[in-house]
Amino acid sequence: MSKTREELTISEALRDPLIAMVLRADGVKLDDFKSLLETAARTREQRTSPVGNFLKSISSDPAAMCSYC
């Protein structure tokens, strides 16, 4: 049994024939779709996760860990 991934990379999405057909049907240019995906990826990378916030707080003040328990 092969392992499946849940998400496409941007380059895979841009080469996907089904996505290309939907874009054409909707009148969306490939460059516009690429810009949308890149903007979304940058926005996603900038968000901090609750785990990241937790690790940041306990690294500066280990006693703060008790407030998360």
> Residues near 65 by Cβ (< 8 Å), separated by ≥ 6?
57, 58
Measured in residues, the chain has a length of 69
Q: According to the model, what pLDDT value does residue 31 have?
A: 96
User: Is it the case that residue 65 has pLDDT exceeding 50?
Assistant: yes
pLDDT digits (tens, 9 = 90+) for 7-62: 889 999 999 999 999 999 999 999 999 999 999 888 876 666 677 777 777 777 66
Residue position matching structure tokens 């280990």: 62
Q: According to the model, what pLDDT value does residue 16 have?
A: 96
Q: 3-state SS of the chain?
A: CCCCCCCCCHHHHHHCHHHHHHHHHHCCCHHHHHHHHHHHHHHHHHCCCHHHHHHHHHHHCHHHHHHHC
* 19 or 67: which leads in pLDDT: 19
Give the pTM.
Answer: 0.57
